[in-house]
Amino acid sequence: MPDKYDVIIVGGGPAGIFAAMELCQAPDLSVLLLEKGKDIDSRTCPFADKGISCPPCSPCDLVSGLGGAGAFSDGKLTLSAEVGGRLIDYLGVKGTEDLVQYVDSIYLKFGGSNRVYGNGDEVEELERKATLADLHLLPMTVRHLGTEHSRGVLREMREFLSGRVEVKVNTIARAVLTEDGTVRGVETEDGQRFECRYLIIAPGREGADWLAREADRLSLTLQTNPIDVGVRVEVPEAVLRELTDALYECKLEYYSKSFDDRVRTFCVCPAGEVTMESTGGSDPVTTVNGHSYAERKTNNTNFALLVSTNFTEPFRDPIAYGRYLARLANILSGGVIVQRLGDLLSGRRSTNERIARGNVQPSLKSATPGDLSFALPYRHLKSIMEMLDAMDRLAPGVASRHTLLYGIEVKFYSSRLALSNNLESEIANMFAAGDGAGVTRGLVQASASGVVAAREIMKRAGVVAHS
């Protein structure tokens, strides 16, 4: 006989964890959280400090496991309703702002830093300078945890859930079980069946392709978000210091002159490190990312430049497109490509010797010098180079010939289920939350989306929360 629960949560990232913390305030509810990766303390990258390319592992400990990809992120809490997701579409501005503040208070309760960035007169001056450079600066309050502190906060949350919520790690959800248009449970890859009254799907970016396949199997409406692909840029820390000292996470937008495509900065890591990660389950690809520690500093700052592209019919699979581009880079390099901007502009591949002579030494030692033009479409590269020129007018040195570009970076959150305002899917009592569901694009709104689903379930179940 299958085990029965009131609520099952698929995915132990921020959305799943915050849903569980909200639900466990109602002691009458039985809650099961399924996570395909390991527990937080068991998650390690065997290649991170060895200077060799990612094999890659499946699942990758950097993106899978309790805590989600956020456990190894640098823990930037973007305290804005406008950035980091689409919750405004479901909750409105006021509802989203209230949830952002609530989520922030929870992170603080479990050990988040008291320091915030993005306030002060210097922010207005930076906005003015950005406008003169043909850029749009989105000022916002940011709380930075740091990669090592981010894991500590998540450990405290895990301890809070212990004894209140049943957690099964190393357990892969294979299929959603339904009957007459209503959710009935989950079947795992090893054949276990777990029944439930309510289901929250929060698979993270790592599980986005699985959710897309399940949506197709269940004949659910799947909407396509723009696909975000690009590179990670590494410059001397001093180049962006004025921006990062004031803002920490400087959100800049640019619309390319050549194609009118939106290009944006993402995940700025002051004095940080470029990293690799793999995603895609049984058929993984290696992509690039960045971390910034609270205590450990480097001489470089890195950030992503992502190009958002809307495709027309009959294109319906942005995740496959992103994986295809990532695989091209993997084929060419065995993992991640690194190239000096000067070499790219000169139409030549980078070499170890050219990079060694440069002013920026790569923090990702395993990256292979090469030519990104073989992996990224001309349209994307052209837009990225225009954005770098614009940023150079705001922060001289960004477009130096020594600047390093790593590729490629892809954000797998481009497929989105049709959802109600409380994040319920077309299957009754099945909710979707977080980045993998295409609802959010960051820690805060991912966490908030889990709260939205949990509160609706508690309302329907007629239970009362006890703090």
Residues 3-121+142-223+415-461, CATH architecture: 3-Layer(bba) Sandwich (3.50)
Q: What angle do CA 79, 85, 90 make, to 5 degrees?
A: 105
Look-up of token digits 């990612």:
54
pLDDT at residue number 441? 87
Task: Tell me which of 142-146, 202-206, 258-262, 442-446 is least confident.
Answer: 142-146
* Alpha carbons 65 and 43: distance in angstroms, whole number: 7
pLDDT in tens, 409-463: 998 766 789 999 999 999 999 999 999 898 998 899 999 999 999 999 999 998 8
- Is the peptide bond preceding residue 318 cis, with omega within 30 degrees of 0? no
List phi, psi (to 5°) of 189: -65, -25
pLDDT over threshold 90, residue 399: yes
pLDDT over threshold 80, residue 316: no
* Alpha carbons 83 and 80: distance in angstroms, whole number: 6
Q: Which two tokens stand for residue 22?
A: 């909200």
Domain ranges of the chain: 3-121+142-223+415-461, 226-411
| Average confidence (pLDDT) over 198-208 | 91
pLDDT in tens, 122-136: 999 999 999 999 999
- Is the peptide bond preceding residue 284 cis, with omega within 30 degrees of 0? no
Continuous H helices in 177-317? 208-217, 241-247
Look-up of token digits 């909407």:
223
pLDDT over threshold 90, residue 144: no
pLDDT over threshold 80, residue 310: no
| Average confidence (pLDDT) over 170-193 | 96
Task: Tell me which of 68-72, 189-193, 287-291, 379-383 is least confident.
Answer: 68-72
DSSP secondary structure of 13-26: SHHHHHHHHHHTTS
**CA atoms within a 13 Å half-sphere pointing along the CA-CB vector of 400:** 18
| Average confidence (pLDDT) over 392-418 | 92
| Average confidence (pLDDT) over 234-239 | 98
Task: Tell me which of 52-56, 101-105, 178-182, 459-463 is least confident.
Answer: 52-56
* Alpha carbons 47 and 53: distance in angstroms, whole number: 7
Identify any residues that bridge with 288 across adjacent strands, giving them in sequence order.
276
* Alpha carbons 354 and 47: distance in angstroms, whole number: 25
pLDDT at residue number 292? 83
pLDDT over threshold 90, residue 291: no
